[in-house]
Amino acid sequence: MSAIEQNHANSKPVQRTAIFIVLAATGFFLPKLLGGTSVAYSTLTTIAIFAVMCYGIDIVLSYLGEVSLGHTLFWAIGGYTAANLSVKYGLNGWSTAFATVALCIVAAGFLGAVTLRTREFVFSLVTYAAAVVGYEIAFNWDAIGGSDGIVGISALKLPFGVATFSGATQEDLWPVALTLLLLTLVFIARFRRSKLGTAALMVQMNPALAASLGIDPRKVRLAVFVLSAPITGLAGWLYAYQRAYVGPDMFETYFLVLMLTAVVLIGRRILIGPLIGTAILIAQQNLLSLGGDWNKIVLGSVLALVLIFWPAGLVGLFRNFGNVGLKAKE
Amino acid sequence: MNRTINLAAALLFALAAPAMAQDIKVGTIFPLSGGAGPDGQTVTNAVKLVVDQINVKGGLLGRKLVVVSKDDESTPAVGVSRANEMIAEKADVVIEGWNSPVTLAMQPILARDGVLDITAVSKSDLILAGETNPYAIRINSSNGFDAAVIAKYVVGTLKAKKVAFLTQNDVYGNGFQTAVEAEFKKLNFSGEIVTTEKFAFKDTDFRVQLTNLKTANPDAIIVTNSSNSSGLPAMVEQYRQADVKSAFVGAVGIMLTTVFKVAGEANNGIVSADIYFWDLPPFNGIAESNAFAAAFKKAYGADPDKSAALGAAAVQVWASAVEATKSLDRKTVAEAIRGKTIKGTVFGDATFLPNGQLQPRYVVFKVVDGKNAKLEALPQN
């Protein structure tokens, strides 16, 4: 509902583009504004990459209303594709990115087709099982890295005709991470206004209306699921270059919990929600850390509290306050 | 107003400046929470203890040492964040690594910013491959050395003719078996490998494999099992119940306190090897080791185990190299360690290979009283 309201609220393309450019330029200089230290660059690059990772699961969660527990699979596909193809075959960033997108579409197509008839709990369970299978394969198959993973991933190389971008440090990778984040934001914004986006929302919110309009819910579900995979996959692709090491830990619940919490924390169907959620979570872990066990306790409690008391996320909470304020004025 | 702020800032700076200029920062990154938390705390405690001892003697290069310890939560992604924090805090050396994937993820981050990185425990061969860190240094033994000592015991001491493997089916288990087989070739082993039984890390029921092994009746079964809190104690119990007559030879470093606690007397007679026991020779004859064991017991009320010794040795090796070179530079200090021998560590004279691997000294032992974790060192020939 809120998505549709917002679309009407800012439907001036010129104004929107201008705001976007200003935000992009500010974003580019953000690490400099925060002191230009290596920690500023690495934290912001990590936030950008993790936010893109979250946007993949976001469109499944927000528009299909389903909880995918299998998106770590696509995240790992991105990482493993980048690592294997660049280390073993010396392929450049474009090729590894292209391969990531292709493999994610194939994997999501298969998983989406298998889970087509499943809903809610069963859907979550099957996607989770897929991630477990993926983990076992990655852990035991030495040809793609085995339990030790792959080391020695070289700098990200992106040839542009005559010149070639080459980046290994956090400073170098920041523009790439930011660009990937901005492209993802544009993509998600367009998706929200697209026929598929509205159809998905309709299937979730009002299946009867969708059916009466001749929308095939299974086609919509499959399309959204397949669309979500390369987004998370490309985040994993860049993460491999940022960390220069890929291992089976990419399937860990650390990433899964981060994805789900970042989306739910702020509120579903809010364009910059996952970005802000990721930023809050990473900032807490890096700057206000309470130690491993406490971080997990706090994160788990916050997730539980938000889900129990403010299912609409923190935005829902502020909206409630807003309403109270308005009533008081009246 | 502005003047007050400036004054306050100047005062703060004046107070903080001497400490910042003088203290040498020793960073540690180990798991301090979760399942491996107690182990990581042991290593960190040992580092702190040795640093305190150095400070009591007047510090290093006339400067005081401070320890900055961080928790990698056994998660590579968290380890990377912690490594970045170490860079920001300008650590002069980082001693890290309980889990290989965490070490492998942190290595390139620390190397890129020129921070000296000493791996205390993580065992993967990739750590010393030089691809991510050309100045890598590791204190714990490598799989290659571990395999050699086990192969030598089975072929030389036990004079086994029929050997079997009970192998954990992953990089660790299979890698160890391959390395032992390679050592057999080097030793001109004339017997045969009668069977290989495999299992998964999470398995706790080994009765099928043990029945097959009983039928094959080898002289020795070489066992890899890194699940020391559940899988290995269960395996030891079932090995006893199945009444297998073959000698149970555990891979290096798997017979830990938890195994003795859970499986108790069933452990009696098992042979294995490890690189540090404070109360067994040669370590009970090394002055530094005795002094460290006494101090550790006094400070933490427990006997130091191998993990503690690895943490202590990491600091001692680094401090000696810094003292010798009068430098904190990563390359200079690393070159004074790699391929060199450093005297006066808990391991005695510590000799490093050119690739940064410490040459370990093994204690091959037999469990005499599993219930009380009593071991007996076996002569090595």
Closest residue, chain A, to B105 (C-alpha): A245
Q: A306 pLDDT band (50/70/90 cuts)?
A: confident
- Chain-centroid distance of CA B197 in Å reads 27
Q: B17 pLDDT band (50/70/90 cuts)?
A: very low
- Closest by CA to B310, choosing from B143, B108, B120, is B120
- Cβ-nearest to A243 among B100, B105, B113: B105
Under 8 Å between Cβ of A77 and A85: no
Which pLDDT score, from 0 to 100, does residue A4 have? Answer: 46
B77 touches chain A (CB under 8 A): yes
Which pLDDT score, from 0 to 100, does residue A5 have? Answer: 46
Under 8 Å between Cβ of B239 and B214: no
Q: How many Cβ atoms sit within 10 Å of the Cβ of residue A296?
A: 16
Closest residue, chain A, to B84 (C-alpha): A39
A249 touches chain B (CB under 8 A): yes
Which pLDDT score, from 0 to 100, does residue A2 have? Answer: 46
Instruction: Identify the residue whose tokens are 């003719």.
Output: B161
Tell me which chain A residues have a C-beta less than 8 angstroms from the C-beta of B124: 148
DSSP letter for A64, please.
Answer: I
More confident residue, B109 or A267: B109
- Closest by CA to B207, choosing from B242, B231, B173, B232, is B242
Tell me which chain B residues have a C-beta less than 8 angstroms from the C-beta of A142: 171
CA distance B33 to A292: 5
Closest residue, chain B, to A241 (C-alpha): B108
CA distance B293 to B302: 9
Size of interface A-B (CB pairs under 8 A): 97
- Cβ-nearest to A148 among B77, B78, B126: B126
| CB contact burial B250-281 (16+ within 10 A = b; e otherwise) | bbbbbbbeebbebbbebbbebbbbbbbbbeee
Q: Which of A221-230, A249-258, B156-165, B371-380 has the lowest mean pLDDT?
A: B371-380
Q: Is the ipTM of this complex over 0.90?
A: no
Reported as a single tens digit per residue, the pLDDT across B258-269 is 788 888 889 999
User: What mean pLDDT comes out for the span A2-18?
Assistant: 61
Closest residue, chain A, to B69 (C-alpha): A291
Angle at alpha carbon of residue A146, lines to B98 and A231, rounded to 5°: 100
Q: B166 pLDDT band (50/70/90 cuts)?
A: very high
CA distance B370 to B372: 5
Q: Tell me the three state secondary structure of residue B115.
A: coil
- Closest by CA to B45, choosing from B296, B336, B365, B259, is B296
B68 touches chain A (CB under 8 A): no
Contact A291 B71 (CB under 8 A): yes
Dihedral, B298, B301, B306, B308 alpha carbons, nearest 10: -60
Reported as a single tens digit per residue, the pLDDT across A24-65 is 888 888 888 887 777 788 889 999 999 999 999 999 988 888
| Residue B37 to chain A, least CA–CA distance (Å) | 9
CA distance A250 to A259: 13
Contact B105 A249 (CB under 8 A): yes
Contact B108 A46 (CB under 8 A): no
| Residue B199 to chain A, least CA–CA distance (Å) | 12
Reported as a single tens digit per residue, the pLDDT across B324-356 is 999 999 999 999 999 999 999 999 999 999 999
How far from each other are the two terminal CA atoms of chain A, in whole angstroms?
25
